[in-house]
Chains A and B, each alone.
Chain A
Amino acid sequence: MNFLRPIGRVAISFLEATGRLALFTFRGVSHCVRPPFFPRLILRQMIDIGYFSLPVVGMTAIFTGMVLALQSYSGFARFNAESAVATVVVLSITRELGPVLAGLMVAGRIGASIAAEIGTMRVTEQVDALTTLSTNPVKYLVAPRLIAGTLMLPCLVLIADIIGVFGGYLISVFKLDFNATNYLQLTWEFLKPMDVISGLVKAAVFGFIVTLMGCYHGYNSRGGAQGVGRATTNAVVSASMLILAANYVLTSIFFGD
């Protein structure tokens, strides 16, 4: 029966980790909605997550839009459906690629830095110091980041949507010789509010996931520099995985039927 033991051990540690994460999430969210709030900290995180991620997310969006236009053109040209390029670009960007790619880029940028910062604070006893100064570390460190991430990612994605569509437009008009007015018209024609809204809801969820994973792994990091390094890696990897999984769930909720 010995071969069952490792299986049991893996199952138990998985359940343990799930339970710990669930409790942490509950604590984090409950501090988001209960005063006192820290407006200065929230604002600083919003600037860090929103404003300073713009270049990365913008670059990702513009190249993705350009590639989409090229690829869909070369595909659709085979059966004379070139006019679908604009629709394909705008729907792919707003529904899927905008939120998912922005989420993944922010996971790399913000998830990692949150995990490293809180992890370093943990191993240098700064988290304990907060407690001794009568400040709840979850309220002070975790809640502002969760709020900022959930609010700022939709803003980022809205901008990414516009930049992405613009990237597709650039390629279509200047390389593939589409008529500019015609292209923009086609972009608008089949776009429904729900396409954009679903993307923004996804973005809010991804923003929550990224900041939660950063905080969770940083907060629970142990063992010096190596522990912080591990926390950072785990934060990025788990956030990326959860984003992709959550994306499927959300897509099936929005567009499943």
Chain B
Amino acid sequence: MTGAQKITLKGVAKAFGDKHVLAGLDLDVPAGQSTVIIGGSGSGKSVTLKCILGLIRPDAGTITIDGEDVTDLSRSQKEEVNRRIGMLFQSGALFDSLSVVDNVAFGLIQGKRIARREAQAIALDKLAQVGLGREVADLSPDELSGGMRKRVGLARAIATDPEIIFFDEPTTGLDPIMGAVIDELIVKTVKEMGATALSITHDMASVRRIGDRVAMLHDGKIIWNGAVAEIDQSGNEHVDQFIHGRAEGPIKMGVRA
């Protein structure tokens, strides 16, 4: 492996009760590239992201960002680390007590202590970057459509110019066209910012559009890891079953999972 790993997970394990969601997960996320984690529902993709963000403390293993161990940091140290990370949540997770522009400016005002007026000006720029005009700035998030919520969520994630951006199922809940539009925006913004992107999704069309590298998560471990171009020749039965969406194969979806 080259030295330019942005995020490294080693032997990360997490259990909820007697359910082992992550069982010794190893993953390298190379700097400046877009890595996508794929896997079935309930395979632990979200838990992986939340462990890196420090929202969930892993039971075992280490997580390093830029070579710095972030596994056991205090809350305030984690806040410091999270200043370098932006995240687009699956449903947007916009604050519905704040207007669109205040949502986007939130990280600038609270995290970076930028004056409100200045932060709002930056927020308007970021909104323009994701294709939203001034007219939506004063709307409340519940007045927005699904696609617009994702755009605002994306603008909020990139507002502080983070080095790392997480995308949690960026296309889920959108129609295929809007999904493609959002993917295009993601690729464009990530390239422009030179950021490291880590996404989780189960939408294969999206994977091929936004990913440089793909890692497949199954039974709490990464079972395959490679460039997105190699995914069709992975030689891994699990990956083949997943990318072709077959009900029959080595992966057994528990009905109750």
Interface centre among A124, A126, A134, A135 (most CB of B within 10 A): A134
A137 to chain B, nearest CB (A): 10
Q: How many residues of B contact A (CB 8 A)?
A: 28
When the two chains form their complex, are residues B111 and A129 in contact, meaning their CB atoms are under 8 A apart? no
Partner of A124, one of B50, B91, B110: B91
What's the Cα separation between A150 and B53 when bound, in Å? 33
Q: Known interface pairs A134-B79, A134-B110. Does A129 touch B93 (Cβ–Cβ under 8 Å)?
A: yes
Q: Does B90 contact A (CB under 8 A)?
A: yes
When the two chains form their complex, are residues A135 and B93 in contact, meaning their CB atoms are under 8 A apart? no
When the two chains form their complex, are residues A132 and B75 in contact, meaning their CB atoms are under 8 A apart? no
Contacting A at CB under 8 A, from B10-69, are: 50, 53-55
Residue of A nearest to B81 (CB): A134
B231 to chain A, nearest CB (A): 29
When the two chains form their complex, are residues B82 and A125 in contact, meaning their CB atoms are under 8 A apart? no
**What size tier do the contact residues of chain A reach?**
10 to 19
- Contact residues in B for A125 (Cβ distance below 8 Å): 89-91, 93
- Contact residues in B for A185 (Cβ distance below 8 Å): none
When the two chains form their complex, are residues A126 and B95 in contact, meaning their CB atoms are under 8 A apart? yes
When the two chains form their complex, are residues B111 and A133 in contact, meaning their CB atoms are under 8 A apart? yes
Interface CB pairs A-B, < 8 A, 20? A124-B91, A124-B93, A125-B90, A128-B53, A128-B89, A128-B93, A129-B94, A131-B78, A131-B82, A132-B53, A132-B85, A132-B86, A132-B87, A133-B82, A133-B111, A134-B110, A134-B112, A135-B110, A136-B79, A140-B110
Given contacts A126-B94, A129-B94, 12 further A-B contacts (CB under 8 A): A121-B95, A126-B93, A126-B95, A126-B96, A129-B95, A132-B53, A132-B87, A133-B106, A133-B111, A134-B111, A135-B110, A136-B75
Chain B residues within 8 Å of A, Cβ to Cβ: 50, 53-55, 75, 78-80, 82-83, 85-87, 89-91, 93-96, 106-107, 110-112, 156, 160, 166
